[in-house]
Amino acid sequence: MYQATAMSLQSWMPQPRSREFTIASWIFLKALGVIYWIAFASFGVQALGLIGSAGILPLTAFVDAAAQLGVARFHIAPMVFWLNSSDAMIRAVWIAGAIASLAIIAGIAQRFALTVAFVLYLSIVSAGQTFMTFQWDLLLLEAGFIAIFLNGGRGRVWFFWWLLFRLMFLSGAVKLASGDPTWRSLTALQYHYETQPLPTPLAWYMHLLPDWFQSASVVFVFVAELLGPFVIFAPGRWKRWATAPIVGLQTLIALTGNYTFFNLLTASFCILLFDDSCWPGRLRAWIEPRALKRFAARRPRLETAVTMALLSFIAPVSLLQMAAALSIRLPASLERVLGWVAPWGIVNGYGLFANMTTQRIEIIVEGSRDGAAWTPYEFAYKPGDVRRPPPWVAPYQPRLDWQMWFAALGSYRQNPFFVNLMARLLEGSPPVLALLAPGPFHASPPAYVRALAYRYRFTNWAERRATGAWWRRELVGQYFPAVSLRSFTPAPSR
């Protein structure tokens, strides 16, 4: 009995830490390759409508404007498109990125493929302008950069632990640091499901849950984001317990909102919390020879030197980024350091939903052939028709639909892309129309366009049973005045 009790207690004690994470690293790189492929392909099918020559923010105009900055443009917008900014080059870059992603998955010239994928995705982020400013794009760049140096050892895996810690902890800390009353009063989730950019059908049901459940959910969010990350650095099996709140939270977010590849990428970091001793025998026997072959360190001294070089750069810069994210005032010299590093996307600040949006304003774009009768343009994914259910679209990201959510938070004057969108609709630009749902103006463009702002709310059970509608809406006012192509002056690219 004593022996059985001792063995039981031992199973709960922190276990000796393995020095190697070769199996986890091998699996993680496969997962990263899949996420890279999703990111390249998702952008690629929209690229010409977003930044093509007939797109909303043409890359050629961006390149011409940035050329006035001289040599500084190569630092401000690091991208291969300085060589060529044509539509053919845009296609070539995202297709080459997708091919590099497949090479990462297959393990073919993997480190080279990782480097190519990073350079090409950095180019797309720089060229994508306002359409490529999301935190998950920066998260993918930072993870992709670190992955180039991943060798299966604890030293390199630590950089991913640190990245996961910063991502999760800052997401919780900025909610409190912002002073937002909904987070502090535990009422944020009473608004979130309804007001988030692209809710899923499940969000409708979650929104109708009682207030006590929403408050308890906010407590879970804070536990997962503020306490869970510290377990990442615990010894042995305690470290692996960090996966439960992190993966659990990411799963709930993915079920109720379309956040592209963000949840997949965040959850994939948790793979690297499992050292080689954790994996089942058969799986380990199959993967370990392949992993050891991939991560064979032929020059230990060089590997150590590279690890120390990465540490000396990433650690101080990331600490500065954390301070900036928490609104800690930095000396001007340190702010300049962050400004110099920022365009490269290799060390970033994070923190989602620092301030909760408490009402949903939707921009409804309309066209008219005579200036009297108006017909709405339907977007493929964002709310429009109140009877259409919220979509399931992740991990694909409809970037125009996402940007329309941000545009509704301000005016069209604060969103030059929207002005250009209206001009392209008047021109009947095929690649831009391809970003929208099929409609009456796809065959020939309207003579006039305008945009109205509506306040959208989820219906309740009784309203949905009576009308079949998922949303109810009320007119707020005009967002963009009625214009014709003759009187139109599009905004510059930015």
The per-residue pLDDT for range 32-58, each reduced to its tens digit, is: 999 999 999 999 999 999 999 999 999
Q: Which residues contact 296 (CB under 8 A, 6 or more apart)?
A: none
Helix axes of 300-325 and 332-341: crossing angle, nearest 10 degrees: 120
0.85 exceeded by pTM: yes
Residue 91 has pLDDT above 90, yes or no: yes
> Residues 36, 143: contact at Cβ < 8 Å?
no
Q: pLDDT value at position 159? A: 96
Per-residue pLDDT at 13 exceeds 60:
no
Which amino acid belongs to residue 64? D
pLDDT digits (tens, 9 = 90+) for 188-206: 999 999 999 999 999 999 9
Q: Is 300's pLDDT higher than 90?
A: no
Token pair in block for residue 366: 């309309």
Q: Is the dihedral of CA 478, 480, 483, 487 positive or negative?
A: positive
Question: For residue 414, what pLDDT is reported?
Answer: 94
Q: Are 379 and 400 in contact (CB under 8 A)?
A: yes
Could you tell me which residue, 163 or 287, shows the higher pLDDT? 163
pLDDT tens for each residue of 216-237:
999 999 999 999 999 999 887 7
Residue 128's identity, in one-letter code, is: G
Count of Cβ atoms closer than 10 Å to residue 275 Cβ: 22
Number of neighbours of residue 319 by Cβ within 10 angstroms = 12
The pLDDT value given to residue 490: 63
**Interval 315-369: pLDDT, tens:** 999 999 999 888 888 898 888 989 999 999 999 999 888 899 999 999 999 999 9
Which residues have a Cβ under 8 Å from the Cβ of 282 and sit 6 or more positions away? none
**Region label for 160, one of left (φ > 0), alpha (ψ between -120 and 50) or beta (otherwise):** alpha
Mapped onto helix, strand or coil, the DSSP state of residue 240 is helix
Q: Distance between CA atoms of 138 and 203, rounded to whole angstroms?
A: 26
Confidence band for 241, pLDDT divided at 50, 70 and 90 = confident
Compute the mean pLDDT over every residue in the chain, rounded to the nearest whole number: 91
Q: Which residue has the higher pLDDT, 203 or 11?
A: 203
